[in-house]
Amino acid sequence: MEKSVPLHVYHVNKTSIIINRAHAFLHSIALLFLIHYRLSFFFQHPKNTTIPTLPWLLIFVSELLLSLAWLFTQSYRWRPVTRTVFPERLPADDKLPAIDVFICTADPNKEPTVEVMNTVISAMALDYPPEKLHVYVSDDAGSDATLRCTKEAWNFARYWVPFCRKYDLVTACPDVYFSSSEVDSGNFEGSEFKAARTKMEEKYEVLKQEIRRIVQQHSTTGDALHSARNHPSTLEVINEHSKEEDEVKIPLLVYVSREKRPSHNHNFKAGALNVLLRVSAIISNSPYILMLDCDMYCNDPTSIRQAMCYYCDPQTPSSIAFVQFPQTFRNICQDDIYDSQIRHLFKILWHGFDGVGGPTISGSNLYIKREALLGSFSKQQELMALKRSFGPSNDFIKTLVEEYKPGFINDGESSRMLLEKANVLASCSYEHQTSWGSTVGFLYFCVVEDYFTGFSLHRKGWKSVYLYPKKPQFLGTATTNFNEVSIQWTRWASGLTSVAISKFCPLIYGPLKMSWVQFMCYSELAFMPLLNCLSLWGFAFIPQLCLFNDIPLYPKVWDSSFNIFFIIFVSAILKSLYEVVTTEGQVRTWRNDWRIWMMRSITSYFYGSLDVVLNKLGMKEASFLPTNKVIDDEQVKLYEMGIFDFRTATTFLAPLVTVILVNIAAFVRALVVNVVDNDRDGYWEKMFGQMFLSFYILVSNYAVIEGMIIRRDKASIPLYVTLLSGVFSLCILLIGSAILS
């Protein structure tokens, strides 16, 4: 029998493997020499050294932590792969599985409703049989305005979806289509299309005006019935009562707002996703689910068919849990000073993660198998055991049985009763004493539910794939100001650190359940905030305090041992520069990546890790702040100009300014001593390493110096922050000098 043609292939990047492994080997040798150099200090006779033990030990610990962080990252570079799919080889539409689309929104004040509705409309316009596509909007704020806007979006989609299909549009998002100057591929000839496009654009303008009117009315009057933290559940199938005979069929659209009460823990986004899992099971029960952030519209209507190349290929193992696409953004400027696109992760690391078992869930843009989240059960399964895990609903238990087909779509008369049953599943008390969030569905252990759920799935033996097509499948709106970027990374750091210092630590929870390279990837993510913040706080202060007090921590510049540090520094710089250039980046991209990494380590990683420690001590509860996606024209202009916007909390600014001031003080004093004392006792040779480190930190973070000294605009660093940081810096220098003297 002739073998069927594959629907996908993968390519192992052999050149990258050779370069990565050779670099890892050579860099490791240099690190071993560094460790030998540091350790030999402790075996010297006390009379042969005048260097205090404490700073030497602290800088050694910092070097070890940073080396460990580097070692973990090599797991991503062990076996990078790329993938290609052939959606044209898929079976006929009637043989394709059904898809549920989950779109979560949490705060209408921070997530512009027009943008959310564009995401909903683009999902409804995906290139897939409409009877097999069901879109669910989860409104965690329970806002009546969002429900009304969802209805308006569906009314527009009744015309937009047929328009896209008739003229073969590849831009499914109306806002992008009507605002773009680029010509969309498709059938655009003739006056018929021009007339249809003009009419459609008029309808879209009406839609935007109506959405803005609804939102404005809601913000003025407020919601009299309930608040974002205290409201009943609401479920509504938007097109349930549409009976027009000549209407072109469009996907089902369902609005879901789970019940929320102040007395219950709602488990943030993971809790909302689990409600969608239960409600969608009653209504459509599609075997596959597309997860989207509310601002991440479908840029390529064929993304479903590309993902189905893995699920519909008989040669593919059934153990693939999800297909992950990268997060790409439409508002990224060429000089991405905040690394808002997280390019290093999606362009480099995730390809390597894919080569060793598959990446973890990345929040959005993935097609996931429902069975992977809920399990597979048969009619012979014990009913009480299922109820203990999944809750008391008999109707939901039925959906877990193989071949269960809900009757909602084909039987309109029973829809009201079915919605009442689904409404029970959205109550805040339904999960009480069940396995939801612990072993079933999306897991609640930390605020980064995507990372932890993906980790759990891989431990159970599931696999994943990473698909990075040339055309972005989804495009979102990235955070483009320093304040929101810092808050976002603090939240992620908190979630990752909470896993690192728990019983689910990948180093002890992963080795027996997955390959050693894959659990090292998970370990790198979990320990990244801790390792980076601790090591960089050490490098930011210890050598500088010693430089300020004439204590050498590095070999003399002409000493052969100095070559160890020189080789390690150049090796790290050149490798990172190589990775940036080979992924279509520029030298300034590399510069921005290094700078924002240092800033994050000192601020977001530190506060995220501290948040977890306080939480473990019972001094603080876990919190979740949605990222603000409201566009501020002034902030956008600064971002596009490559100028830092320092309008953020003092807690984020003070550490940065303090580090800069301490480094300035140490470097300037060293220059003065070197010039005034005419290089006494080979001062320059002994202190060159520390002087260079301070100089490198200052040059890399010139934006901070500019913000506190040169700039005088509203987005510069306030004078009171500089003065406060000056007091901190003086205290650090005085206390450090007292300890070292």
Going by the DSSP 8-state scheme, the letter that residue 87 receives in this structure is G
Contact by Cβ (8 Å): 98, 130: no
User: How far apart (Å, rounded) are the C-alpha atoms in residues 613 and 221?
Assistant: 41
What residues have CB less than 8 Å from 353, skipping those under 6 apart? 76, 359, 360, 466, 518, 521
What residues have CB less than 8 Å from 574, skipping those under 6 apart? none
What residues have CB less than 8 Å from 61, skipping those under 6 apart? 538
Other Cβ atoms less than 10 A from the Cβ of 262: the count is 8
Nearest to 624 by CA among 102, 115, 140, 136: 140
Instruction: Give the tokens for residue 96.
Output: 């394709």
Q: Which listed residue (140, 295, 300, 339) is catalytic?
A: 140
Contact by Cβ (8 Å): 180, 299: no
Nearest to 602 by CA among 689, 538, 665, 673: 538
Nearest to 504 by CA among 539, 470, 458, 558: 458
Beta strand 99-105 with 288-293: parallel, antiparallel or unpaired? Answer: parallel
Other Cβ atoms less than 10 A from the Cβ of 486: the count is 22
Q: Which listed residue (127, 336, 354, 450) is catalytic?
A: 450
Answer yes or no: 140 catalytic.
Answer: yes
From residue 83, how far is each of 465, 560, 574 by CA, in Å? 9, 46, 27
From residue 416, how far is each of 2, 146, 408, 421, 585 by CA, in Å? 50, 21, 9, 9, 54
Q: Residue 140 annotated as binding? A: yes
Nearest to 327 by CA among 355, 347, 354, 352: 347
- Long-range CB contacts for residues 420-424, cutoff 8 Å, separation at least 24: 421/282, 421/393, 421/395, 422/235, 422/278, 422/279, 422/282, 422/283, 423/233, 423/235, 424/393
Nearest to 298 by CA among 132, 471, 163: 471
C-alpha distance across the termini of the chain, in Å: 83
User: How far apart (Å, rounded) are the C-alpha atoms in residues 580 and 343?
Assistant: 9
Q: Which residues partner with 369 through β-bridges?
A: 288
User: How far apart (Å, rounded) are the C-alpha atoms in residues 624 and 268?
Assistant: 7
Q: Residue 184 annotated as binding? A: no
User: How far apart (Å, rounded) are the C-alpha atoms in residues 343 and 592?
Assistant: 11
User: How far apart (Å, rounded) are the C-alpha atoms in residues 98 and 288?
Assistant: 7
Answer yes or no: 127 catalytic.
Answer: no
The H helix count followed by the E strand count for the chain is 26, 13
Q: Residue 111 annotated as binding? A: yes
Beta strand 252-257 with 234-237: parallel, antiparallel or unpaired? Answer: antiparallel
Contact by Cβ (8 Å): 163, 184: no
Classify 417 as helix, strand or coil.
helix
CA torsion through residues 613, 617, 619, 622, sign: positive
Contact by Cβ (8 Å): 264, 384: no
User: How far apart (Å, rounded) are the C-alpha atoms in residues 370 and 286?
Assistant: 8
Q: Residue 110 annotated as binding? A: yes
Contact by Cβ (8 Å): 657, 725: yes
The answer for 332, left when phi > 0, alpha when psi is -120 to 50, beta otherwise, is beta
Q: Which residues of 429-440 are buried (b: 16+ CB within 10 A; e: fewer)?
A: ebbeebebbeeb
User: How far apart (Å, rounded) are the C-alpha atoms in residues 157 and 173?
Assistant: 11
Binding residues for UDP-alpha-D-glucose: 110-111, 140
Q: Which residues are catalytic?
A: 140, 450
Binding residues: 110-111, 140, 269, 293
Binding residues for Mn(2+): 269, 293
